[in-house]
A = this chain, B = another copy of it.
Amino acid sequence: MSTKYVYMFSEGNGKQKELLGGKGANLSEMTNLGMPVPQGFTVTTEACTRYYDDNSEIVPEIVDQIFANLKKLEEISGKEFGSTTNPLLLSVRSGARASMPGMMDTVLNLGLNDEVVEGFAKMTNNPRFAYDSYRRFIQMFADVVMEVPKSNFEKIIDEMKETKGITLDSDFTSEDLKEMIEKFKTYYKEQKGEDFPTVPRNQLLESIKAVFRSWNNPRAIYYRRMNDIPASWGTAVNVQMMVFGNMGDTSGSGVAFTRNPSTGEAKLYGEFLMNCQGEDVVAGIRTPEQIEKLAEVMPHAYEEFVEICHKLEQHYRDMQDMEFTIENGKLYMLQTRNGKRTAAAALQIAVDLVNEGMISKKEAVASIDAKSLDSVLHPTFDESALKLAKPIGSALPASPGAAYGKVVFTAEDAITLNEKGDNVILVRLETSPEDIEGMNAAKGILTVRGGMTSHAAVVARGMGTCCVSGCEAIVIDEEAKLFTLGGKTIKEGDYISLDGSTGNIYEGQIPTVEASISGNFGTIMKWTDEFRELNIRTNADTPRDAKQAADFGAEGIGLCRTEHMFFEADRIKAMREMIVAKTEEARRVALEKLLPMQRSDFEGLYETMEGKAVTIRYLDPPLHEFLPTEEKDIIEIAGELNITVQELKNVISSLHEFNPMMGHRGCRLAVSYPEIAEMQTRAVIEAAINVSVKHPEWNIVPEIMIPLVGEVKELAYVKSIVVKTADDIIAKSDIDLKYSVGTMIEIPRATITADEIAEEAEFFSFGTNDLTQMTFGFSRDDAAKFLDYYYQKSIYEQDPFARIDKNGVGKLVEMAVNLGRKTRPDIKLGICGEHGGDPSSIEFCHNIGLDYVSCSPFRVPIARLAAAQAAIKNPRNN
């Protein structure tokens, strides 16, 4: 039996979204519910994927099905496609499985040509309307199908207005419109070298193909990437008989939501315009009326519409977003779908629907887009102000939130200006750990280089500060203290505005709205805890970050990066002394200075976490990161360290690395200089003992994490240092302190030898940032340069640093999980890479059976929600 590629609306149903797309399935569903839907048929998503498989052709088999169903539609409508006496006009609209509003193409009024339009004019007894429909069709078809921009036709209209002394479109007469149509056709021929197509069936097939093609236009690709929609889904195409809201004063079009999509208020919310087509409502040529007004203008239609709204919401058990048209007083439903909403509205609606008894808590939790929570946790731009702003550039949305401020180019300037009370935006080529204080002083951070997991991105997310990274289009002139972007020159002290949620960069100040966490947020968060099976921890290096995360519900620290503590002014000197030391003895002297500082850091963390788990990762970055790079700093620091400039330069040169990411770092440092691990162990254990003495009610069990292990013998060696040091201290104390030693799994070799590593490791924490880098062979700081080409060519659809690559990195992680559990069934498994805060990746972590995810503090609520959703979707067999 051959595949069915075309379904009449009456043949489908609301569950067939995969095959018919969201719009098609809902049109079928409304048809089945007996609602007034202009009839038509849906060309399936499978037809779309075949189109791509068949070298962008619609094969005869499918063409035949299209025309067979067109025949049925002619019978239902009593009209005939291409008829000069009783013509059927069609709309051709996209409709993917997931709603992608405005991303793909639409053609309306299809089926007109010079002859048909005459018949249409007679049939409707409204020549002006008929010619207006025809010119709209030419414009739309030319634009969508033939890539002749619509705006060029608008120019022709403007010229005609001028010639004729007209200001409003509605002032054109039928004859004017006829003239306009001729001009349009002439222009079309000039542009395309051929006549405007007159055969309606060809118009239909070309339009269907154009919709298929539009699945792969750049904005659709971008939208899919942002919304996790796979390219393989394809779009369906809905071919529907036209109904006309522009037939006169008893006709109109509108859009409405069953509840307010901004606030969630339980009240119909929408707009309409009389005597116009749907596109005019959206285009904003005339100002639409509030939906309530329809009760006055067309009371019957309004009443029917309200009843349908109610039915639809009850039927779909969610807020609906609908389009309708009234043709000569008769209401038609053109579309319904679950409405997009702000995060605040989503929370409100979910809580309301539970209270109304319409949905369960589980459904409420499942209904909220986890990523969208960012917008209730961070400042956002004032929406009305944002509408007027045009970005001068855009880059990676590295840390959510919105901010405006004065541009500075150095961390020091950021601190100074902030102290004066100014809002500051820090603009850097890239940030380094030395910039931490300046980053903290800034309202927003903008970098030229670096991806979603660059230093700037990771630190900004930790701080909850907005950050846009990897804006390669920026050219910085550091001496002149200015940069250029999008043709604009921005000087130090000029205002810019950053949107870390979209990656947009604006000139000037756009006012922001502070984050506001409502009671609904708390309610939903409490509900998530009823469902989730993953524990949620946080990546935090300071008591402040840890506190923030704990307030958001973090159940422990999954990653404390100890090196971040070494960059503070009073500490880096001791760190540098250690680095330039030539003997173990000299290194020990310097480490002895670091010990009390590090110990008090850990005490702070234990105090804040009140007995919750704290995982401490040992020194990770290559040592050259702690040394100066600029001549003047080298001279100054050589002085501080009591060595000659040449000696310091020799050290710097000896530490130079071609590929620092794959260099002398992680546990390789502890293997080379075990005294570092010894000092860190002293700090961890002594701090735990000190705090345990003060708070015997807390059960502090430090988790010591050795980074960058690729071979079990590395871990065994470092662990032996840790255990010897720790056990000595514990034996001398009055406390029977427990601790555990585990490792990051972030080197591909660790995943394939995880059975061996689990002999030594009591826990694994997947460091999926580095694991992604090495599995792909991408440097995260360099990948931005070529990933754009990859997105354009659909080679990658997602940034693998933002969303875990299930097919590659994920397979290695799974392998490590299985191998690790084989050796040590009770091994604790978590993730502390950036993926720990990404909903799709969290679902993956749930599915492969991890114990916890750890993410930056501001992502903790997202992770709680995403973990609950994953558990609802795929309950584990406990």
Interface residues of A (CB under 8 A from B): 472, 475, 650, 654, 657-664, 668, 671-672, 708, 710-711, 713-714, 717, 746-749, 752-753, 770, 773-779, 781-782, 785-786, 789-790, 793-796, 805, 807-809, 811-812
Partner of A786, one of B672, B786, B811: B672
Contact call A668/B752, Cβ cutoff below 8 A: no
Contact call A789/B662, Cβ cutoff below 8 A: no
Given the known inter-chain contacts A658-B661, A659-B662, A671-B789, please indicate yes or no for A808 contacting B777, CB distance below 8 A. no
Contact call B770/A747, Cβ cutoff below 8 A: no
Given the known inter-chain contacts A748-B812, A785-B664, please indicate yes or no for A795 contacting B713, CB distance below 8 A. yes
Contact call A779/B710, Cβ cutoff below 8 A: no
Tell me the bound Cα distance from A713 to B792 in angstroms.
12
Q: Which residues of B contact A658 (CB under 8 A)?
A: 660-661, 779, 781-782
Partner of A749, one of B472, B711, B809: B809
Q: Which residues of B contact A795 (CB under 8 A)?
A: 671, 711, 713-714, 717
Q: Which residues of B contact A789 (CB under 8 A)?
A: 668, 671-672
Q: Which residue of B lies closest to A793 (CB)?
A: B717
Contact call A753/B808, Cβ cutoff below 8 A: yes
Given the known inter-chain contacts A664-B782, A779-B663, please indicate yes or no for A752 contacting B811, CB distance below 8 A. yes
Contact call B807/A753, Cβ cutoff below 8 A: yes
Q: Which residues of B contact A671 (CB under 8 A)?
A: 786, 789-790, 793, 795
Q: Which residues of B contact A781 (CB under 8 A)?
A: 657-659
CB distance from A672 to the nearest CB of B (A): 4
Partner of A808, one of B657, B661, B752, B794: B752
Q: Which residues of B contact A812 (CB under 8 A)?
A: 748, 752
Tell me the bound Cα distance from A714 to B785 in angstroms.
16
Q: Which residue of B lies closest to A796 (CB)?
A: B711
Tell me the bound Cα distance from A118 to B778 in angstroms.
76
Tell me the bound Cα distance from A875 to B661 in angstroms.
42
Q: Which residue among A749, A774, A778, A789 has the maximum number of chain B CB atoms within 10 Å of its CB?
A: A749
Q: Which residues of B contact A805 (CB under 8 A)?
A: 749
Partner of A776, one of B657, B710, B778, B790: B710
Contact call A774/B793, Cβ cutoff below 8 A: no
Partner of A779, one of B662, B714, B790: B662
Q: Which residues of B contact A650 (CB under 8 A)?
A: 475
Contact call B664/A711, Cβ cutoff below 8 A: no
CB distance from A470 to the nearest CB of B (A): 12
Q: Which residues of B contact A796 (CB under 8 A)?
A: 711, 713
Given the known inter-chain contacts A659-B661, A786-B668, please indicate yes or no for A774 contacting B752, CB distance below 8 A. no
Q: Which residues of B contact A672 (CB under 8 A)?
A: 786, 789
Given the known inter-chain contacts A777-B770, A795-B717, please indicate yes or no for A711 contacting B808, CB distance below 8 A. yes
Given the known inter-chain contacts A660-B658, A664-B786, A711-B808, please indicate yes or no for A776 contacting B793, CB distance below 8 A. no
Q: Which residues of B contact A794 (CB under 8 A)?
A: 713
Tell me the bound Cα distance from A811 to B748 in angstroms.
11
Contact call B774/A777, Cβ cutoff below 8 A: yes
A-B contact pairs, 13 of them (CB 8 A): A472-B654, A659-B661, A659-B781, A661-B662, A662-B773, A671-B795, A711-B808, A714-B790, A717-B795, A747-B777, A748-B748, A749-B809, A752-B811
Tell me the bound Cα distance from A808 to B775 in angstroms.
13
Tell me the bound Cα distance from A825 to B679 in angstroms.
55
Partner of A710, one of B654, B711, B808: B808
Tell me the bound Cα distance from A672 to B792 in angstroms.
10
Q: Which residues of B contact A654 (CB under 8 A)?
A: 472
Q: Which residue of B lies closest to A669 (CB)?
A: B786
Contact call B717/A659, Cβ cutoff below 8 A: no
Q: Which residue of B lies closest to A672 (CB)?
A: B789
Q: Which residue of B lies closest to A790 (CB)?
A: B671
Contact call B664/A777, Cβ cutoff below 8 A: no
CB distance from A347 to the nearest CB of B (A): 38
Q: Which residues of B contact A811 (CB under 8 A)?
A: 752-753
Contact call B662/A782, Cβ cutoff below 8 A: yes
CB distance from A844 to the nearest CB of B (A): 15
Contact call A779/B748, Cβ cutoff below 8 A: no
Q: Which residue among A668, A777, A782, A795 has the maximum number of chain B CB atoms within 10 Å of its CB?
A: A777
Given the known inter-chain contacts A713-B794, A795-B711, A811-B752, please indicate yes or no for A779 contacting B747, CB distance below 8 A. no
List 20 other contacts, CB 8 Å, given A657-B781, A659-B659, A753-B808.
Answer: A657-B779, A658-B779, A659-B660, A659-B661, A661-B662, A662-B662, A662-B779, A663-B785, A664-B785, A671-B795, A672-B786, A710-B775, A710-B776, A710-B777, A710-B808, A711-B795, A713-B795, A717-B793, A748-B777, A752-B775
Q: Which residues of B contact A807 (CB under 8 A)?
A: 753
CB distance from A678 to the nearest CB of B (A): 15
CB distance from A484 to the nearest CB of B (A): 12
Q: Which residues of B contact A661 (CB under 8 A)?
A: 658-659, 662, 779
CB distance from A878 to the nearest CB of B (A): 29
Q: Which residues of B contact A774 (CB under 8 A)?
A: 662, 748, 774-775, 777
Q: Which residues of B contact A778 (CB under 8 A)?
A: 662
CB distance from A52 to the nearest CB of B (A): 13
Q: Which residue of B lies closest to A708 (CB)?
A: B777
Tell me the bound Cα distance from A805 to B711 in angstroms.
11
Tell me the bound Cα distance from A773 to B661 in angstroms.
11
Q: Which residues of B contact A713 (CB under 8 A)?
A: 794-796
Tell me the bound Cα distance from A746 to B776 in angstroms.
10
Q: Which residue of B lies closest to A784 (CB)?
A: B664
Contact call A748/B770, Cβ cutoff below 8 A: no
Tell me the bound Cα distance from A658 to B668 in angstroms.
20
Q: Which residues of B contact A775 (CB under 8 A)?
A: 710, 747-749, 752, 774
Tell me the bound Cα distance from A41 to B714 in angstroms.
37
Q: Which residue of B lies closest to A770 (CB)?
A: B777
CB distance from A407 to the nearest CB of B (A): 21
Q: Which residues of B contact A717 (CB under 8 A)?
A: 793, 795
Tell me the bound Cα distance from A588 to B664 in angstroms.
41
Which 5 pairs between the two chains have the least Cβ-Cβ distance? A659-B779, A662-B779, A749-B808, A748-B748, A747-B777
Q: Which residues of B contact A793 (CB under 8 A)?
A: 671, 717
Tell me the bound Cα distance from A179 to B795 in angstroms.
86
Tell me the bound Cα distance from A807 to B793 in angstroms.
37
Tell me the bound Cα distance from A811 to B708 in angstroms.
19
Q: Which residue of B lies closest to A716 (CB)?
A: B795
CB distance from A53 to the nearest CB of B (A): 13
Tell me the bound Cα distance from A812 to B747 in angstroms.
13
CB distance from A195 to the nearest CB of B (A): 32
CB distance from A223 to the nearest CB of B (A): 20
Contact call A782/B657, Cβ cutoff below 8 A: yes
Q: Which residues of B contact A708 (CB under 8 A)?
A: 777
Q: Which residue among A746, A794, A808 has the maximum number of chain B CB atoms within 10 Å of its CB?
A: A808
Tell me the bound Cα distance from A457 to B25 in angstroms.
64
Tell me the bound Cα distance from A758 to B658 in angstroms.
33
Tell me the bound Cα distance from A660 to B657 in angstroms.
11
Q: Which residue of B lies closest to A810 (CB)?
A: B752
Tell me the bound Cα distance from A610 to B774 in angstroms.
40
Tell me the bound Cα distance from A657 to B748 in angstroms.
22
CB distance from A768 to the nearest CB of B (A): 13
Tell me the bound Cα distance from A770 to B809 in angstroms.
18
CB distance from A786 to the nearest CB of B (A): 5
Tell me the bound Cα distance from A749 to B671 in angstroms.
28
